[in-house]
Structure 1
């Protein structure tokens, strides 16, 4: 009977050790997979736009008011201000911004501009055009456009 008990003890001992080894191997594999997955995510995840460009505000340039003909016999009196970045070598000339505004708003129906949603929608489009117009060698010189007067008659 002593032999039977010893045989049972020797049979059970490797099983316990085998389970511990198996658990440790599985834990190592899981940690490696998790680390690899996280590393892959960091490598291939899209980078946020804000992290790519950190624009620092520079000078503010107010522009003269301009009157733009709208399609339905109305007029838009628009005065805006440009927020330059610190990359701007000098105060930006407002001619490109005014040209972008005139080309965007000319012959537009006043009903589109009378709502807050319409005004903000076209402000976003104007801002995009102005930023492109003032980008020199991939350096953005303008970061924002502000309406200081927006009157439809």
Structure 2
């Protein structure tokens, strides 16, 4: 049996028979275009409103709402001031510092604190520094605040501040 092969050229399938091409698709009516434009505008407005509401909610929770934050406890009431006898500390290059302290105790403290912890912390903080360093007022203020912070931790909140009553270098 012979195999027969045919090549067909001519109009595409689905085209009109008779050599004419199919008509161009009709454009959508003006009403459909208006509906599409209206739906896009509506979508943009809805998205803008949702974004605005989200921003307003975020602003409320981050700025205005204080219910979720932990309550700030009031600062402790100052109590008595405990004076510590001055001590001499060795500085660098053979110099020394005579340092006297006073501890501001909170009103909630049950008894007068033992000054040995404060002296030990002061010795560790001030010893071995140069005379130029401890003579600088800015450095002295920074060291004093660092000592006060360290004493608050050592005395578990019973000491709220420290004062320098004697500060002499030689």
Query: Normalising by structure 1, what TM-score?
Result: 0.68
Q: CA deviation at 1:118?
A: 1.1
Aligned residues: 121
1:146 aligns with 2:163: yes
- Aligned pairs (5 A) from 1:1-150: 34=56, 37-41=59-63, 42=65, 51-135=72-156, 140-150=157-167
Structure 2: tracts of 5 or more residues without a match: 1-48
| Partners of 2:127 and 2:54 in 1: CA distance | 61
Gaps of 5+ in 1: 1-25
Pair member with larger Rg? 2
Q: 1:45 to 1:148 in 2, by over 3 A?
A: farther
Partner of 1:20: none
The alpha carbon displacement at 1:52 in A equals 3.4
Aligned-pair CA distance for 1:85: 0.8
- Per chain length, whose mean CA-contact separation is higher, i.e. which structure has more relative contact order (CA < 8 Å, sep 6+)? 1
Q: Give 1 or 2: higher helix fraction.
A: 1
Give the alignment's TM-score, normalised by structure 2.
Answer: 0.61
Cα distance per residue 1:99-151 (max 9 Å; x no partner): 0000111111111011111111111111111111101xxxx101100001100
For 1:63, what is the secondary structure of its paired residue? strand
CA distance in 2: counterparts of 1:47 and 1:118, whole angstroms = 34
Quickly say closer, same or farther: Cα 1:98–1:40, change in 2 above 3 A.
Answer: same
Secondary structure of residue in 2 paired with 1:65: strand
